[in-house]
A = this chain, B = another copy of it.
Amino acid sequence: MADSRSKALEFAKQNRGRFLDELKELVAIPSISADSAHKSDIKRASEWLEAKLKALGFENVKSMDTGGHPIVYGDWMKAGAKAPTMLVYGHYDVQPPDPLELWESKPFEAVKKGDYLVGRGTSDMKGQVIASLAAVESALTAGEVPVNIKWMIEGEEEMGSGSMADFIRANSKTFASDFALNPDAGMLAADQPTLTYGLRGLAYFEIHLTGPDKDLHSGYYGGTVRNPGNELARLISGMHDEHNRVTLPGFYDSVRNLDDEERAEFKRVPHASDSDYIRAAGVTELWGEEGYTAFERATARPTLEVNGILCGYTGEGPKTVLPSKAMAKVSCRLVADQSPKQVEQQMMAYVKEHCHPAVKCEVKMISDGDPAISERDSRPMKAMDKALEAIWGKKAIYRREGGTISAVAYMQKILGAECVNTGFGLPDDLIHSPNEHMHLPTWEKGVDALIHFIYNLGET
């Protein structure tokens, strides 16, 4: 297939201008998922993608109803039953452009400024979707393609992919694949190709305590009954031990340990030293589980944080109330092989053991997401690793990330498709902010890297 690879790379080179025009077209559709006023733009964006997939020769192309915004599907299965099937993930929705007055150009009219294309979605992630389409088009045009390809391009990522789990579950045959490609994971620097093989999961709780059945006067009742505010403080305070480890029973039991190779690799990550964390967070010193660097803790270790507390009177001045109720939002970031359900049970067990029975306690898990981890030496990962090195002349860094990308976890958990997470967005692309932009030389390299990736998948 060496010939096809060369042809494909040449095709991409010849068509860069057109690819960029296509990106501008897609950016021009203000497909803001969170704003119902843009529902017709969401439809236009999905239709634009349908048309594009059809033009590339994809079959069964459709905008599938998720109950929320549609997911664009299409497949090309002509590599044959013996070839692997790749599911390419993307999202066509974008964040709102506000605050508008901080934009130096119109957010939905992408303009080239030097090496950059400026506009909402250029980096996150219409640029990455177009790069993937461009690579696939180049390969399909060149001739032989060693992999079957399915697309799953959603319209709710910027809203939390709320419809996706049920949708994938209901359509698991349609999306059945051997592995997935997610080009939304960015890279650490323009000269540092990056593979993101681990993402943390989430178990987000609300804890509601009720002490006395009404607010009491602290002058008359102070010192006589359990104050749910004090009780909540005691509960939260006990969730970490003196080594800053989480005390929920069994919390670490299913945590996959970091191996030495991973830890050595993390040392290569730029701007991720403890002193970088101190500077970025605006603190004087760090905190966390003993025995790990900040980067390790933030990406590859499970953690527990208070996200919010509300109790009693919080307005101006003194009010001598002994409150009836106290509420905390507490969330855990999870790593492989934890599951939100397990952690929910651990939280229930902790609270049952530690909350005094005189205080009524209710725990609700209000959001959850599975952690995701991809084997670093799988065939697709090796194919991408080699592709990135071919273009950048440098080994990719294998990193884990602290956040949660729901789609990646769903593809892994529901479809059994481990995800190759990469991408060509850079840390300073101002995604979600005014003047979002994309670095064009990196984007062009990205298209070429994806072409190499496709052909590398055909090598044994």
The answer to whether A309 has its CB under 8 Å from any CB of chain B is: yes
Give the number of copies in the complex: 2
Query: Secondary structure of the A side of the interface?
Result: mixed
CB-CB nearest in chain B for A199: B219
A356, closest chain B residue (CB) = B287
Residue of B nearest to A360 (CB): B284
CB distance from A116 to the nearest CB of B (A): 24
A202-226 Cβ-contact flags toward B at 8 Å (1 or 0): 1010000001111011111111111
Q: Does A282 contact B (CB under 8 A)?
A: yes
Chain B residues near A204 (CB-CB < 8 A): 318, 320
A67 at the interface (CB under 8 A from B): no
Whether A308 touches B311, Cβ cut-off 8 Å, given contacts A329-B318, A357-B284, A403-B220, is yes
A202-B320, A204-B318 given as contacts; is B223 within 8 A of A303 (CB)? yes
- Chain B residues in 8 Å Cβ range of A326: 309
Q: Does A386 contact B (CB under 8 A)?
A: no
With a 10 A CB-CB cut-off, give which of A216, A219, A357, A366 has the most chain B CB atoms.
A219
User: Which residues of B have CB within 8 Å of A317?
Assistant: 366-367
- Answer yes or no: A91 CB below 8 A from chain B CBs: no
A281 touches B216 (CB 8 A): yes
A327 is an interface residue with CB less than 8 A from chain B: yes
* Residues B327 and A218 in contact, CB atoms below 8 Å apart: no
Q: Is the CB of B305 within 8 A of A329?
A: no
Smallest distance from the beta carbon of A238 to chain B beta carbons, Å?
8
A318 CB contact (under 8 Å) in B289, B307, B312: B307
Q: Which residues of B contact A356 (CB under 8 A)?
A: 287
Known: A219-B403, A402-B221. A322 touches B308 (CB 8 A): no
User: Would you call B220 and A230 a contact (CB within 8 A)?
Assistant: no
**A280 nearest in chain B by CB position:** B221
Q: Which residues from B are CB-within-8-Å of A226?
A: 283, 287
A404 cross-chain contacts in B, Cβ below 8 A: 219
B-chain residues with CB within 8 Å of residue A281 when the two chains form the complex: 212-213, 216, 221, 224-225
User: Which single member of B211, B218, B233, B305 contacts A283 (CB below 8 Å)?
Assistant: B211
Chain A residues with a Cβ closer than 8 Å to the other chain, count: 79
B310–A314 CB distance below 8 A: yes
Contact A220 B320 (CB under 8 A): no
Q: Assuming A284-B358, A288-B224, A289-B223, is B320 touching A313 (CB within 8 A)?
A: no
Cβ–Cβ contact B283 & A307, under 8 A: no
A236 within 8 A of B: yes
Are A331 and B318 touching (Cβ within 8 A)? Answer: yes
Q: Could you tell me which residues of chain A, from 233 to 258, have a CB within 8 Å of some CB in chain B?
A: 233-240
Residues of B within 8 A of A212 (CB): 281-283
CB distance from A42 to the nearest CB of B (A): 22
Q: Which of A220, A235, A366, A367: most chain B CB closer than 10 A?
A: A220
**Given pairs A220-B402, A308-B321, 19 additional interface contacts (CB within 8 A):** A200-B219, A212-B281, A213-B282, A218-B331, A219-B404, A221-B277, A227-B306, A229-B305, A229-B306, A229-B307, A229-B328, A230-B237, A287-B358, A307-B319, A307-B321, A308-B311, A308-B313, A308-B319, A318-B329
Q: Which 7 A-B pairs have the closest CB atoms?
A: A213-B282, A223-B303, A229-B306, A219-B403, A233-B236, A308-B312, A237-B237
Residues of A at under 8 Å CB distance from B?
A: 200, 202, 204, 211-214, 216-227, 229-230, 232-240, 277, 281-289, 294, 297-298, 301-314, 317-323, 326-329, 331, 333, 356-358, 366-367, 401-404
